Structure formats: C-alpha cells, structure tokens
A = this chain, B = another copy of it.
Amino acid sequence: MTAGTPPPATGSPTRRMTVKRAINETLREEMQRDPTVIILGCDVGVRGNPFGVTKGLYEEFGAERVLDTPISEAAIVGSSLGAAATGLRPIAEILFSDWITIGMDQLVNQIAKIRYMFGGAISVPLVIRAPVGAGGGQAAQHSQSFENWFSAVPGLQIVMPSTPADVKGLLRTAIRSDDPVLFFEHKRGYEIKGEVPVAEYTIPFGVADVVREGTDVTVVALSIMRHKAMAAAEELAAGGVDCEVIDPRTVYPFDYDAVLASLAKTGRLVVVHEANRRSNIGGEIVSQVVERGFDLLKVQPRIVAGLDVPMPYNRALEALVIPDVDRIKQAVLAAVGQ
C-alpha cells in the first residue's frame, strides 16, 4: 500500500514508520507533554494493547496514567467523560469499535450533548480510540465501521486517518482538542508505513488530503480505502483515465470545499468506503455534494462500499463484501462511460 503524503505544512526531515508506531509515539509525546493525559481501556497497560499500540506506555507512565480496566465499556466511556469534565484528558480505547455500542448511551446522550445542554459550562476534552474495519475473518461482531452513526450526532468529531503522518498530526490535534473526538484506526492499517516529519506538527480537522491530482474523476476514499483508491488510480492512469484521489481524513468536520473544488475540474464523483452501503457515509457525502454542487456533476455520483450484510466469516465471502481495487476501477470507468 502507498505511504500517503506528509501534511503540506511541513517540509522538515522525516522518518519512516508504521501507523502503529506513529500512534504509539504520539501517545507517548502527548503524555510527556501534558500530565493530565491518561489512557484507559481493556489490556492497554501491562499488555500494551493486543495490537501493540500502547506498548511501553505502562512502563513509562505507570499504572495511574495507563489504566487497565475491567471489561466495562459503558463505564470506560462514561468515566472518561467525568474525568474530562473535571480536569483530565482521557484517551479511552475500545479494542474493536463494534463494541462502542456498549458505551453508546454515554457517548451519544452524555459526551456529545453535555456541553451544549449545560449551556457551555463543561468542556469534554476526551478521545476515544477504536479500531474499525474488516479483514482477517473476524466476522460479524469484529468488522464494522460506524463513522456515519457518529457523524449524525452533533457535538462529536470523527477522525479516520490511514497514513502514519496523518495519524500523528491528527491524533495530536485530537488529544489537544477541548471537544470529544472519535479516533477510528483501521485494524488492518497498523502496519502501513510512511514518512513522518520529525518536527512536531498538528493537522487541523476538516482539511482533506488531495493524495493524487487528476482531471477525469474525483475519487473520495476514506481510511485504508485511500490506499486501494490510489492503487486503482495508478492502474487506471495506465489506461488513460486520470483520477484525483481525495482522503477526507476527518468525517466530521468534513472538507466539502476540497471535493467541490475537485469536481469543478472533473465533474465526476466516486466515493469509496468500507462500511456497508446503506445509510452510511457515502450516501451522506453524495447528498451534501448534490446540495452544494449539483451543477458541477456531469454524471451520477457512484458509491463503492461494503455490501449490505453482516460480515461473513468465510474468506471468499468476506472478500466479496469488502470493496477492492477492481470495484473501484469499475466505478471510475463507469463514471467516464467506459
């Protein structure tokens, strides 16, 4: 998979590392910088998280700041709110975002609303890290991507980067934000490598990354679909179809300006995401684009998404459900009428 570009702002020297390493470093650096930052969740401490994401942090910062919790997601999410409201900056982890459902009430009815319904009297500076996505035969309860659910909830911010540089800059922004952030890592994206600026930097929310410039079709691809979209774009370029690939990086706020600017060139839109097609972020993006730039569209927008089934265990069935490079290419070719 391609490495993705470092944030435009920085031209400083870089180091090559994985997404996992970028997360781990950012957590460490922010915890060193700010004593109010804590981490809590199942197996984040002594074990250093099952994917190794929090390795070494328990040893460096101790049990008081890297908290192994019982399996109590509602209390993990809810106590993060109470802690955030009284002076800490908690980073809670839900090992698979599928289980955020257990903390759903605290997240949607408390965390997202409390500042507003209390007239601004409380800030909620917290981050919930939760791996999303499918692959590897984890089946129906360990493969989902819920970003659109939370995009529908005013008060939340939703981030889903997939390159080491983006992860670092956006996680830093998330930890320093005074509002709640859902930080969705892709569990199949931890080993993706890329260059990361050495100098400290942040990436603002709501700024898309135009990963590849092109003139024929605008491909908006979320999370690791960005990398599949780039692969498709390279193959299509060989056939003379020139894609502009845009990674929004944050789902809310969403950089519609970047998409519209691109459509002004291409007039053709393909949206790619892994969540199943129905009532998810692809539909939202298309509807916003249609509202904001209907006349820019030369042809109907297309959505390449997961199929509308719970994720099946079987390898071949799973592969059928998850969008792949071919499905992206077909959609792009359809958009250009081939």
Contacts and interface: CB of A to CB of B under 8 A. Distances in A.
Interface of A: 98-99, 101-102, 104-105, 107-109, 112-113, 116-117, 139-141, 148-149, 151-152, 154-155, 252, 275-276, 278-284, 286-288, 290-291, 294-295, 297, 299-303, 308-310, 312-313
Contacts of A104: 101-102, 104-105
A308 to B, nearest CB: 5
A298 to B, nearest CB: 10
A117 B140 contact: yes
A152 B109 CA distance: 20
Contacts of A117: 139-141, 310, 312-313
A291 B287 contact: no
Contacts of A112: 310
- Copies assembled: 2
A277 to B, nearest CB: 9
A284 B286 CA distance: 9
Contacts of A309: 116, 154
A226 to B, nearest CB: 20
A287 B294 contact: no
5 contacts: A116-B312, A152-B276, A152-B278, A283-B284, A283-B286
Nearest to A155: B310
A162 B98 CA distance: 32
Given A149-B152, A154-B308, A283 B278 contact: no
A281 to B, nearest CB: 7
A300 B291 contact: yes
A139 B109 CA distance: 11
A301 B294 CA distance: 9
B140 A113 contact: yes
A299 to B, nearest CB: 7
Nearest to A112: B310
A102 B99 contact: no
